[in-house]
Amino acid sequence: MATESDELKKVVKDTYSEIAQHGRSASSCCASTSCCSTTDFTFSDDYSKKDGYVAEADLGLGCGIPTDVAKIQPGDTVLDLGSGAGNDVFVARSFVGEKGKVIGLDMTPEMIERAEKNKRKLGYSNVEFVLGDIEQMPVDSNSISVAVSNCVLNLVPDKRKAFAELYRVLKPGGHFAVSDIVLIGDLPPAIKRAAEMYAGCVSGALQKEEYLKRIREAGFQAVQVKNEKRLDLTDELLLAYLSKAEVEEYRRSGAGVLSITVYAEKPKSSCCGRSEPCC
């Protein structure tokens, strides 16, 4: 019997499969609900001036630019969680150079196929795309110098597992930078129930302080919010899910949606730094 986690993963996978094949212009009719909308709720930042940028790999699915604060060095091995068509992977490659390596991990076969097509056009030999689940990564422990992720971890049902896996694969002294969506206050229940909004990076989000707490509980140190911006949910977007009165109530509540980019480090010591004793 399918669990709620399985259902949410299916919604996300189906949505991003459609985007991989048809782009963001395709309408998204969620298989598990009656929703059907062409509303564009992308919160993506502009990558077009970044070194390594590949237009065909940019599907407008991000909510920040994590590579800006990831401290990637030449020769690093970088892992991009939820790599999509390869946008952040190709930008990260411009930092690691020919001697480094970038791995893109995604759970959607159609995204992997699209990313591989982009890679073949570019002829890169130090870029790899891997099909897999962030909650159980097919990546060796202590093998990654730097991890990045862009508006993906909030879509993972079990975020504790996601951050625990991220901790596992990073080398001691390694670090990550992730851009993600978090909340302040409570979103209206109608938005939380909307599967399409979930796949659009809103309804799967945690409260900001809870999100940062999960990172620390996984054992990470030096946790810092490097960038933060409030996202403007337009009346047009909200009215697709709420009544006019509900929108007005939401505006008065002070609740909101933030895009944050978080940096954190795995301790260098073999004493793991987690909340439980481990030394």
Residue 203 forms part of a structural domain:
yes
Confidence of residue 43 (pLDDT cuts 50, 70, 90): low
Confidence of residue 71 (pLDDT cuts 50, 70, 90): very high
Residue 96 forms part of a structural domain:
yes
Which residue would you say has higher pLDDT here, 184 or 273?
184
Give yes or no for residue 257 having a pLDDT over 50: yes
CA distance 269 to 271: 5
Q: 242 and 250 in contact (C-beta within 8 Å)? A: yes
CA distance 240 to 211: 27
Mean pLDDT of the region 112-127 = 96
Mean pLDDT of the region 23-44 = 45
Residue 279 forms part of a structural domain:
no
Confidence of residue 194 (pLDDT cuts 50, 70, 90): low
Structure tokens, 65: 């630019």
Q: What is the mean pLDDT of the chain?
A: 85
What pLDDT score does 39 carry?
Answer: 44
The domain in which residue 205 lies consists of: 4-265
Residue 272 forms part of a structural domain:
no
What pLDDT score does 79 carry?
Answer: 98
Residue 184 forms part of a structural domain:
yes
What pLDDT score does 203 carry?
Answer: 63
Q: 233 and 247 in contact (C-beta within 8 Å)? A: no
Residue 274 forms part of a structural domain:
no
Give yes or no for residue 24 having a pLDDT over 70: no
What pLDDT score does 275 carry?
Answer: 41
Residue 271 forms part of a structural domain:
no
What pLDDT score does 126 carry?
Answer: 97
Mean pLDDT of the region 6-22 = 72
DSSP β-ladder status, 144-150 and 28-29: unpaired
In single-letter form, the type of residue at position 176 comes to F
Lowest mean pLDDT among 28-32, 210-214, 218-222, 249-253: 28-32
CA distance 235 to 258: 17
CA dihedral sign of residues 29, 34, 35, 38: positive
Confidence of residue 31 (pLDDT cuts 50, 70, 90): very low
Give yes or no for residue 28 having a pLDDT over 70: no
Q: How does pLDDT run across 147-166, given as a tens digit for each residue?
A: 999 999 988 989 999 999 99
Domain count, the chain: 1
What pLDDT score does 235 carry?
Answer: 85
Confidence of residue 241 (pLDDT cuts 50, 70, 90): confident
Mean pLDDT of the region 66-84 = 97
Give yes or no for residue 198 having a pLDDT over 60: no
Give yes or no for residue 276 having a pLDDT over 50: no
Q: How does pLDDT run across 83-117, given as a tens digit for each residue?
A: 999 999 999 999 999 999 999 999 999 999 999 99
Mean pLDDT of the region 216-231 = 95
DSSP β-ladder status, 170-184 and 221-231: unpaired
Residue 89 forms part of a structural domain:
yes
Mean pLDDT of the region 118-124 = 96
What pLDDT score does 38 carry?
Answer: 41
CATH of the domain at 203: 3.40.50.150
